[in-house]
């Protein structure tokens, strides 16, 4: 079938670790045709359908660090999204206004017959920081507020806290404030901008020293290995983008408990792929926009995450 990937520019892909590339490679291996567009290639006009300016690409078989000729363009066309077998929304965060508008175009395309993964409505309904609020039994002490006074009271109670913006990614804008409260006022001012922006505050979890685990859930089923992203040096963040070291490891009983409780619920809402972030025993985020870590898990653990994903995609298309 023809697969349309709505993604960031292909020339920026780091193919040695990009999960969207891993999806493409597995889909091509099975004989599916690969098409790609960027969010600004989507459009709609009265009397017509949502369409995309898209390029059909072929993989060259070359990939890895520093490789920039990993694909060739075989064709270009403007096509309605409903003509593709599946549309995969794989634009990286942040979830800004343009991302929001793209989900509305994709939802319109769904009503016209397109099959879009992850579901555009589900992308909007599950902001990655706030989605955990639906599952309080799995999270640590957490506060979501605009109030500086609330944050100070939370710190006084918890003594060691993490503060982060709701629209951050890759560990951007994350601060730790220990018992001494050093720089708490300045950090609050930076993040909540005089009460104009909402902040998430969580109790610091010492288990971060063993890694911030990415647990992938595909079609409601957990991948049997997580990628523990371990902070390096004096860094408090385990995110790979912040210099964390990724180590694949089997799911713990608690990882599996969390994934098996949340996965089927979110899969039923159209979230074919999610990435749970787990520190120790606690869920900290639910990633839905373009979860990653496929290649790191496959390379280290030998489990083919992309194959599991394309299996689930094919089932979803056939069943829908």
Q: Which of 25, 237, 239, 296 is catalytic?
A: 237
Q: Is 192 a catalytic residue?
A: no
Q: Does the pLDDT value for residue 238 go beyond 80? A: no
Q: Are residues 62 and 42 in the same domain?
A: yes
Same domain for 257 and 167: no
Strand segments (E) across 96-234: 116-117, 142-145, 161-165, 175-177, 199-203, 212-218, 221-222, 225-230
Catalytic residue among 110, 212, 277, 296: 277
Phi-psi region for residue 171, left (φ > 0), alpha (ψ -120 to 50) or beta?
Answer: left
- Residue 146 located in a structural domain: yes
Residue 128 inside a domain? The answer is no
Distance CA 118, CA 203 (A): 31
Domain stop point among 182, 204, 226: 204
**277 has catalytic annotation:** yes
**Average pLDDT estimate for 297-317:** 98
The single residue of 110, 128, 255, 285 carrying the catalytic annotation is 285
Annotated catalytic, 287?
A: yes
Do 152 and 69 lie in one domain? The reply is: no
pTM here? 0.94
Domain of residue 177, residue span: 141-204
Catalytic residue among 164, 192, 203, 255: 164
Task: Please indicate, yes or no, whether residues 154 and 252 belong to a single structural domain of this protein.
Answer: no
Annotated catalytic, 14? Answer: no
Confirm whether 129 is domain-assigned: no
What are all long-range contacts of 245-253, with beta carbons under 8 Å and residues at least 24 apart?
246/293, 246/296, 246/300, 247/211, 247/300, 248/296, 248/297, 248/299, 248/300, 248/301, 249/213, 249/225, 249/301, 250/224, 250/225, 250/226, 250/301, 251/215, 251/222, 251/224, 251/225, 251/226
Q: Render pLDDT for 25-46 as a digit per residue (tens, 0 to 9).
A: 999 999 999 999 999 999 999 9
Return the percentage of the chain with pLDDT > 90, whole number. Answer: 88
- Determine, yes or no, domain membership for 295: yes
Q: Which residue among 129, 192, 212, 255 is the active-site one?
A: 129
- Does some domain include residue 134? no
The active-site residue out of 17, 25, 115, 214 is 214
Q: Note whether 151 and 260 are same-domain residues.
A: no
Question: Active site includes 129?
Answer: yes
Any idea what the CATH number is for the domain that residue 32 is in?
3.40.50.20
Same domain, 197 and 213: no
pLDDT at residue 155 greater than cutoff 80: yes
- Mean pLDDT calculated for residue range 288-316: 97
Q: Are residues 226 and 245 in the same domain?
A: yes
211 and 200 share one domain: no
**Residue 88: inside a domain:** yes
Query: Cα–Cα distance between 274 and 236 in angstroms, integer?
Result: 24
Decide if 130 is inside a domain: no
| pLDDT tens-digit map of 171-224 | 778 999 999 999 999 999 999 988 889 999 999 999 999 999 999 999 999 999
Residue 111 lies in a domain: yes
Please check whether residues 18 and 79 belong to one and the same domain.
yes
**C-alpha to C-alpha distance for 50 and 42, rounded to whole angstroms:** 7
Confidence of residue 94 (pLDDT cuts 50, 70, 90): confident
Give the CATH number, domain containing residue 164.
3.30.1490.20
Mean pLDDT value across residues 146-164:
96
pLDDT at 146 exceeding the cut of 70: yes
List 229, 239, 255, 296, catalytic entry: 229
Q: Check whether residue 200 and residue 212 sit in a common domain.
A: no
- Total domain count for the chain? 3
User: Do 180 and 220 share a domain, yes or no?
Assistant: no
Q: Do 41 and 90 have their domain in common?
A: yes
CATH number, domain at 216? Answer: 3.30.470.20
Contact, 267 vs 219, CB < 8 A?
yes
């Amino acid at each position: 079938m023809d697969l349309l990937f709505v993604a960031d520019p292909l020339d920026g892909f780091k193919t040695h670790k990009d999960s969207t590339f891993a999806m493409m490679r597995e889909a091509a291996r099975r004989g599916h045709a690969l098409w790609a567009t960027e969010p600004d290639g989507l459009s709609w006009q009265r009397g017509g359908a949502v369409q995309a300016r898209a390029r059909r690409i072929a993989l060259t078989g070359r990939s890895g660090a520093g490789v920039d000729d990993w694909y060739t363009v075989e064709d270009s066309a403007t096509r309605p999204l409903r003509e593709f077998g599946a549309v995969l929304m794989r634009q990286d965060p942040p979830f800004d206004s343009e991302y929001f508008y793209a989900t509305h175009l994709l939802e319109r395309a769904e009503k016209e017959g397109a099959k879009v993964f992850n579901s555009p409505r589900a992308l909007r309904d599950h902001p990655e920081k706030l989605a955990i609020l639906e599952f309080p039994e799995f999270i640590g002490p957490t506060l979501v507020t605009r109030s500086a006074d609330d944050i100070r009271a939370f710190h006084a109670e918890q003594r060691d806290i993490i503060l982060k913006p709701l629209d951050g990614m890759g560990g951007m804008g994350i601060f730790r404030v220990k018992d001494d409260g050093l720089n708490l006022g300045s950090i609050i001012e930076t993040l909540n901008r005089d009460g104009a922006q909402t902040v998430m505050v969580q109790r610091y979890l010492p288990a971060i020293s063993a890694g911030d685990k990415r647990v992938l859930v595909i079609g409601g089923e957990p991948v049997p290995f997580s990628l523990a992203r371990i902070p390096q040096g004096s860094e408090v963040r385990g995110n790979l983008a912040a210099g964390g070291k990724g180590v694949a490891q089997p799911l713990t009983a608690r990882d599996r408990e969390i994934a098996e409780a949340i996965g089927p619920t979110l899969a039923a809402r159209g979230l074919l792929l999610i990435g749970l972030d787990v520190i120790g025993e606690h869920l900290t985020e639910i990633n839905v926009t373009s979860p990653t870590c496929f290649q790191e898990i496959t390379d280290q653990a030998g489990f083919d995450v992309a194959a599991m994903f394309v299996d689930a995609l094919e089932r979803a298309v056939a069943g829908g």
